[in-house]
Amino acid sequence: MKQSAVVTGGASGIGLAVAERLLDDGWPVAVLDADLEALARAEEALSGENAIFLAADVTDEDDVAESFDEVVDRLGLIGGLVNSAGIACNLSAEETSAERFREVLDVNLVGSFITAKAGLERMGASLSIVNLTSVSGLRANRGRVAYGASKAGVKLMTEVLALEFGNRAVRVNCVAPGAIQTPMITRLHTPEARRQWLGRVPQARYGEPEEVAAAIAFLLSPEASYINGHTLAVDGGFLAAGLIEEG
């Protein structure tokens, strides 16, 4: 039996594009999300495919355990896990409360840890995990004190998991998207923020969720069989860039 893939945050944006791509690649896919309306829309969009749709909050260990058990019952042992569930926060350090900081860490970092453990406990012959970090976890971007710290944590957590499970047929990698056109970014980026981002991206455009999904599908696949603990930027050159404007 083919191993299943779980996509958290799979009802929107990058996660939804990943679910579509993995279905095209032949994976049985479990779409997990906390947003019931988005989940219903995803189910409608992907109906007839080899996919199941489960409501779960990644910060709730019982919820996650129950849904991962259901994935194994309905689709088989887990061979792929993509942690795309996340929340964004664009506030200066002065405006960021400790409560908000904890909330962002809880979803983006602890949530990815909880699902990684749940996947490891229910893995098939092999498991590839791809976590979503961000260019804001690798560079200091204004307003990203909580979000950036959570994503820097995701990168390091990925590396420790890659190390501790590397000899057990498990690979753990990250993708670090730049600005990708998703509902999250539509909510977060004002016209001024868009102008600033575009001025820093050599490819001079936002990325599409499908472009991130392609990188994730590669990292999940046997094509990436010796790639472990790596962070792959999908950012149009944002991290590489220095002076951009001609002058």
Q: Give contact residues for ligand NAD (rule: CB under 6 A).
A: 8-9, 11-15, 33-35, 38, 57-59, 84-88, 107, 111, 132, 134, 177, 179-180, 182-185
Asked if residues 185 and 17 have their Cβ atoms less than 8 Å apart, the reply is no
Residue with tokens 């999300």: 33
Q: Which residues are catalytic?
A: 147
Q: Which residue, 47 or 167, is less far from ligand NAD as judged by CB?
A: 47
Q: Which residue, 119 or 177, is less far from ligand NAD as judged by CB?
A: 177
Q: Which residue, 65 or 124, is less far from ligand NAD as judged by CB?
A: 65
Write b or e for each residue in 178-212: b if 16 or more Cβ atoms lie within 10 A of its Cβ, otherwise e. Answer: bbbebebbeeebeeeeeeebeebbeeeebbebebb
CB of 64 to ligand NAD, least distance (A): 9
How many residues would you count in the chain? 247
Per-residue CA distances from 126 to 50, 83, 118, 213, 246 (Å): 20, 17, 14, 21, 49
Sheet containing strand 78-83, strands side by side? 51-55, 29-33, 4-8, 78-83, 123-132, 170-177, 231-234
CB of 241 to ligand NAD, least distance (A): 16
CB of 210 to ligand NAD, least distance (A): 12
CA-based nearest residue to 143, from 81, 197, 196, 96: 96
CB of 173 to ligand NAD, least distance (A): 14
Q: Which residue, 6 or 179, is less far from ligand NAD as judged by CB?
A: 179
